[in-house]
Amino acid sequence: MTLSFPNPARSYDESKRRVRFVGHDGMFEIRFFLPVDVFAGDISPRNGTERDYLSAFDRMRQRILETARKAYAANRRDTIELDARSFG
């Protein structure tokens, strides 16, 4: 099976400052976590809101999903934490 992202939902975890999204490999759910530092860019850490971070995620969605596919192909686990090195 290949990894797909049929559900575009994503959520922001304020306590850990990361965005969570889900992929599917057949019937298996794969959880991904991405710290907001990766895509926050011009968003001030003090003033950034959930809306800001989710909008930034949406703007980078294609690149994030491609990176998630590569990370999953390299290490097939049910939970994958991406970071800035994942995009290198």
pLDDT along the chain (88 residues), means of 10: 92 95 96 90 78 94 96 96 91
In a domain, 88, yes or no: no
Instruction: For the chain, count helices (H), then strands (E).
Output: 2, 5
- Give the residue numbers spanning the domain of 74: 3-82
Q: What pLDDT is recorded for position 1?
A: 63
For residue 8, what is the domain's CATH number? 3.30.160.140
Q: Which of 37, 24, 36 is nearest to 65 (CA)?
A: 24
pTM of the model: 0.91
Half-sphere CA count of 24, side-chain side, radius 13 A: 8
What residue ranges in 1-88 does DSSP mark as E strands? 3-4, 10-13, 18-25, 28-35, 79-81
